[in-house]
A and B are shown apart, each in its own frame.
Chain A
Amino acid sequence: GQQLNQSPQSMFIQEGEDVSMNCTSSSIFNTWLWYKQDPGEGPVLLIALYKAGELTSNGRLTAQFGITRKDSFLNISASIPSDVGIYFCAGLADNGGGSQGNLIFGKGTKLSVKP
């Protein structure tokens, strides 16, 4: 089945630094979603992307839907301690006639921020 390769697996950064993470696949996707999961909680949707090339921001977060439709990245600018958590990418693969209904998740990027 389709897989999403998310990198890096983990990041340790200083408060104030910018962060970048990405997801890639060998399959074409029609939708990319970025989620954040705090410890002991469920994932919370941060940004949704629906068109190739689309660039969308949510506060200090910016995500892009790759032109090839096989990748997406998430940037966090000027990180703060509350950015700590696990960030997941998720996508809806193109089944040749539209989108499959079931999301495929990456394994997550664990972000640690040193004050």
Chain B
Amino acid sequence: NAGVTQTPKFRILKIGQSMTLQCAQDMNHNYMYWYRQDPGMGLKLIYYSVGAGITDKGEVPNGYNVSRSTTEDFPLRLELAAPSQTSVYFCASSYTWGSYNEQFFGPGTRLTVL
């Protein structure tokens, strides 16, 4: 199993550009998550999905969109990139919800918006 994979690993965007961060998992997990990590901070939840076709906002959803058309894929879309979106983005997945929510993380995408 490859686990959770993310592409690209690095990206530089200009203000106002758009891009999609890709995330895929091959563990047949129903639950998937997108986080951002700013320097010296913990992870903040952007969006999550409890299954194909179902997504919901996390703590910091503004400026982002997601879709979940398959169990395996959970792309994150930035429509109008802003410098405040410079961060490291992590995708994660888990088999269950609630008390046994052990999340497995991808390697991250480091995004810089100039």
Question: What string of 1s and 0s marks CB contacts (under 8 Å) between A95-106 and chain B?
Answer: 000111111011
Contact yes or no, B104 A45, CB < 8 A: yes
In contact, B102 and A48 (Cβ under 8 angstroms): yes
Chain B interface helix/strand/loop/mixed: mixed
Whether A43 and B99, one on each chain, are in contact in the complex, defined by CB atoms closer than 8 angstroms, is no
Please, how many residues of chain A have a CB less than 8 angstroms from a CB on the other chain? 28
Question: With an 8 A cutoff between CB atoms, is B40 at the interface?
Answer: yes
Segment 60-114 of B: residues with Cβ below 8 Å from A:
90, 92, 97-108
The reply to whether the CB of A44 lies closer than 8 angstroms to some CB of chain B is yes
A32 vs B73: C-alpha distance when bound (angstroms) = 27
Across-interface contacts of A99 in B (CB, < 8 A): 98-99, 101
A residues within 8 Å of B by Cβ?
1, 4, 6, 30-31, 33, 35, 40-45, 48, 50, 88, 90, 92, 98-103, 105-108
